Amino acid sequence: MKLNEIIKQSLNDELNRQQNHIELIASENYVSEAVLIANGSIFTNKYAEGYPNRRYYGGCKFVDQVETLGIETAKKLFEAEHVNIQPHSGSQANAAAYKAFLKPNDKVLAMDLKAGGHLTHGFELNFSGEIYNFEFYGVNKDTYYIDFEEVRKKALEFKPNLILAGASAYSREIDFVKFRKIADEVGAYLMVDMAHIAGLVAAKAHPNPCLVADVVTTTTHKTLRGARGGMILCKAKYAKKVDSAVFPGTQGGPLEHLIAGKTQALIEASDQSFVDYANQVIKNAKALCEVLIENDIFVLTNGTDNHLINFEVKSKFNITGKQAEAILESIGIVCNKELLPFDTESSVNTSGLRVGSAAMTTRGFKENEFKEVGRIIVDALNQNKDLEVLKNEVKNLCDKFPIYENIKY
Ligand SMILES: *Cc1c(COP(=O)(O)O)cnc(C)c1O
C-alpha cells in the first residue's frame, strides 16, 4: 500500500512548518535523522512483553539486543544502578514510579502546578491527584526560587510518604541534596522528575539527581533529544518493584521501535558533541534572557541556569500571555503562554510566556542568533514595528539553519 495522500501531504506540510518557524517551546527538540529511522523501524511489529532475556514472547533476540544496549547506555550516562527504558511517556513513567513506591491515598509533597510543576504531580483532573493525596510547595514570592523553608515546613507538617522534586517551568538549578535532607528528616522517599533537564544532566551541565534520589523519572524527547517516551532510573534495590510497576503494573507490550529511538539518542548523548550542545543550550538561553532583561521585561528569578525562561508580558506590554503567544506565532515564533506563580490572570489568558533554547540550539543557533530572536520578540510585542518585516527576519534566520535535508515524504 502507498502512504495515504492526506497523511503524506500532512507530513510534508509539517516538515515545512518545522523548517520555517523558530521553535521556542521549551519541551520540544529536533531528533537526529538516525533517531527518526529507528523510530519508524520494523521493531514496531514486535511484541516483547517482559524484559530482555525474560520475555513472554518468542523471537525477541534482536529487540533484546537493542533494549539491553539502551539500558546499559543510560546506566552509564546517568550513573544509575538500574534503568527501565519501557515507559511510553513521561506521564507513564510517573504513573509507574508512584505505583512502585506508593499505595492509593499515600501522601506526596510536590511542586505546585502554578509554580512550575506538572499535571502528573497531583493535578486534580489527573490520575495522580485522584489516586494519591498531594500537598504542594511553591516558589518564594520575592525571588521566585524554590522556597526550601516552605518545603521543609510542609514536609514536617504533612509527613509525606514521598517528596517529588522536578518541574516543567523552573529555570534554576534544583538542589537535590537539600531535597534529600528534608526527605531523610521526615522519612520520605525522594523522587525526582527530570523530564525537562535530562539532556543537561546527561551532559553534566546540571547536578545529577540519580546520585541522591531513590527514583528518577524522565521523558526522553525534551532536552535529551530522543524518541518520544519515558524512562525510570533507580537504585538497584528498587529494580524489581520499578520493573513490575511498569510491566505488568501499568503497561503491556513495550514500544520497541521507540526504545530503539531512545537508545540511539542515549548513544548520541554519550558523545562529546552532545556535551557541547547542552552547554550551548544554556549559553543561548542566557543570551536571550539578557536581551529580555535589558528591555525591562520581568524575567522570573531574573535569569536562567538551564534551557528555559519564564517571563511576564502583561505589565510591560499590556497584553496577556495568550495574546503574546498569538502575536509571536503570526511572525513565525512558536512558544507557549504560561501561568506564572501568583498570576492574577486565568490559566486561559495568563500573564506570561515560557520559552526554551533546546530546539533552536540543535539547529545551530548560537548566542548571536538568540539575541536577534530576543530583539524580534521585543519588537513584536511592543507592536510598534511592521510585523511583516519581523516575519521576514524570522524567515531569513530559519533559511540559514535547515533541518532534515535528506527527508521528504
Ligand atoms: C513533560 C513532562 C512530563 C510528561 O511527559 P509526557 O511524555 O508528555 O507524558 C512529566 N513531568 C514533567 C516535569 C514534564 O515536564
What are the backbone dihedrals phi and psi of residue 231, each rounded to the nearest 5 degrees, phi first? -160, 150
Common-topology check for domains 10-26+272-399 and 34-269 = no
Fold of 34-269: Aspartate Aminotransferase; domain 2 (3.40.640)
Q: Could you read off the pLDDT of 346-403 as tens digits, one per residue?
A: 999 999 999 999 999 999 999 999 999 999 999 999 998 999 999 999 999 999 999 9
Catalytic residues: 47, 49, 193, 219, 222, 228
How much is the pLDDT for 247? 98
Q: Which three cell numbers stand for residue 113?
A: 502546578
Q: Could you read off the pLDDT of 34-74 as tens digits, one per residue?
A: 999 999 999 999 999 999 999 999 999 999 999 999 999 99
- Buried-exposed string 302-339: b where 16+ CB fall within 10 A, e elsewhere: eebbbbbbbbbbbebbebbbbbbbebbeebbbbbbbbb
Q: Could you read off the pLDDT of 327-346 as tens digits, one per residue?
A: 999 999 999 999 999 999 99
How much is the pLDDT for 392? 97
How much is the pLDDT for 41? 98
Q: Could you read off the pLDDT of 9-20 as tens digits, one per residue?
A: 999 999 999 999
pTM of model > 0.85: yes
Please give the distance of CA 166 from its chain centroid, rounded to a whole number.
10
How far does residue 118's CA lie from ligand 1's centre (Å)?
Answer: 7
Closest C-alpha residue for ligand 1 atom 4: 90
How far does residue 193's CA lie from ligand 1's centre (Å)?
Answer: 8
How much is the pLDDT for 384? 85
Our mutation pick for probing the ligand 1 site, out of 28, 86, 118, 127, counting the most ligand atoms within 8 A of Cβ, is 118
| Whether residue 259 has pLDDT greater than 90 | yes
What are the backbone dihedrals phi and psi of residue 58, each rounded to the nearest 5 degrees, phi first? -80, 170
Map grid coordinates 544532566 to a residue. 201
Report whether residue 220 contacts ligand 1, using a CB cutoff of 6 Å. no
d(CA 249, CA 240): 12
Pair 163, 182: CB distance under 8 Å: yes
Of 119, 230, 231, 104, the closest CA to residue 164 belongs to 119
Q: Could you read off the pLDDT of 287-297 as tens digits, one per residue?
A: 999 999 999 99
Pair 275, 204: CB distance under 8 Å: yes
Q: Indicate the average pLDDT of the chain.
A: 97
Q: What is the DSSP string of 314-365?
A: HHHHS--HHHHHHHHHHTTEE-EEEPPTT--S-TTT-SEEEEESHHHHHTT-
Report whether residue 89 contacts ligand 1, using a CB cutoff of 6 Å. yes
How much is the pLDDT for 61? 97
Q: Is 75 exposed, middle or buried (0-12, 13-18, 19+ CB in 10 A)?
A: middle
How much is the pLDDT for 281? 98
| Whether residue 261 has pLDDT greater than 90 | yes
Closest C-alpha residue for ligand 1 atom 8: 90
How much is the pLDDT for 103? 98
d(CA 362, CA 401): 10
Mean pLDDT of 87-101: 98
Fold of 10-26+272-399: Aspartate Aminotransferase, domain 1 (3.90.1150)
How much is the pLDDT for 66? 98
- Could you tell me the residue ranges of all domains in the chain? 10-26+272-399, 34-269
Known binding residues:
113, 117-119
- Buried-exposed string 32-62: b where 16+ CB fall within 10 A, e elsewhere: beebbebbebebeebbbebbbeebeeeebee
Beta bridge partners of 55: 50
| Whether residue 210 has pLDDT greater than 90 | yes
Report whether residue 118 contacts ligand 1, using a CB cutoff of 6 Å. yes
Report whether residue 166 contacts ligand 1, using a CB cutoff of 6 Å. yes
